[in-house]
Amino acid sequence: MKALITRKVGMTSVITDDGEAIAVTLLSASPNVITQIKSDEKDGYKALQVGFEQTDEKKAGKTARGHFKTAGILPKVIREFRVKELDEETKVGDKLSADVFNIGDKVDVTGVSKGKGFAGTIKRHNFHRGRKTHGGRSYRRPGSIGSMYPQHIFKGKKMAGRMGHDQVTTKRLKVALIDPELNVIGIKGAVPGPRKGIVLIQEAK
C-alpha cells in the first residue's frame, strides 16, 4: 500500500536537473504505524488503519490503550485506507515511512482547506459586481435569487455563506522530493490546507 498520513510544513522551491525552478510543498512524514487490518470476513471490506504521531498516555482512554496495545503506539491521528488486496506479510505494528513513495510517483493528496469565514458571493462564487455609475446601487449584492413561481429558493443556490474549511482532494500531483533521513516528502505544486494541517497522500488511482 502506498499511502501515508503527513503534516504540512510549508512551501519552497527546488531546481530540477533541467535548470527549472518548481514550487514544492513539504510534508513531514514521520513513521506511520499500522494499528489494525480490516478484512472482508471480519469487517466486510479490506482496509488498513494507520496511526500517526504519539499522544500522551494520560490522554488516552482505557479502550484506546487496549486497541493500540499490539501496535505499540498511542497515535494522535488515526486514518483508514481502503485496499484492493491485503498482503499476507503485512501485520499490525509495521511502520510506513517516506520511502514508500518514489520521485516521479503520481499521488492524490487530501486535506482540509483553509477556512475563510462568512463570505459574500463575489469572493465565494466569483460573481461580478454591479455597476457603480448611472445610479446603480447594487455593487456587491447577489442580485435576483428566484422568480415569482414557485415562490421559494431552490436548494444549492449560490449565495453568501461559510467559505473554505472543506475536505479537498487534489489529484495526480507529482512527488518531486524524498528525504528518508528527515522523513520529508516534497509534492510539486500546492496542497490543500494550512501549515501544520493533516494531509493524506495516496497513490493515484
Q: pLDDT tens, 35-69? A: 999 999 999 999 999 999 998 888 788 999 999 99
Bridge partners (DSSP) of residue 115 are: 164
Which pLDDT band, with edges at 50, 70 and 90, does 172 fall under?
A: very high
Which pLDDT band, with edges at 50, 70 and 90, does 102 fall under?
A: very high
pTM metric for this prediction: 0.87
How many whole angstroms separate alpha carbon 23 and alpha carbon 20? 10
Which pLDDT band, with edges at 50, 70 and 90, does 109 fall under?
A: very high
Q: pLDDT tens, 124-162? A: 999 999 999 999 999 999 999 988 898 899 999 999 999
C-alpha angle 62-67-70 in degrees, rounded to nearest 5: 120
* Of residues 186, 168, 183, 187, the one with CA closest to residue 114: 168
C-alpha cell at 115: 477556512
Domains of the chain plus CATH, in order, are 3-115+167-203 (2.40.30.10), 116-164 (no CATH)
Contact (CB, 8 A) for 186 and 175: yes
Which of 9-18, 48-57, 141-150, 165-174 ranks highest by mean pLDDT?
165-174
Contact (CB, 8 A) for 109 and 8: no
Contacting residues for 37 by C-beta, under 8 A, at least 6 apart? 48, 49, 86, 90, 91, 92
The yes-or-no verdict on residue 200 having pLDDT over 90 is: yes
How many whole angstroms separate alpha carbon 168 and alpha carbon 200? 11
Helix (H/G/I), strand (E/B), else coil: 122:
helix
pLDDT at position 5, please?
97
In the block, residue with C-alpha cell 449565495: 159
Helix (H) or strand (E) holding 12: strand 3-15
Bridge partners (DSSP) of residue 78 are: 51
How many whole angstroms separate alpha carbon 96 and alpha carbon 40? 23
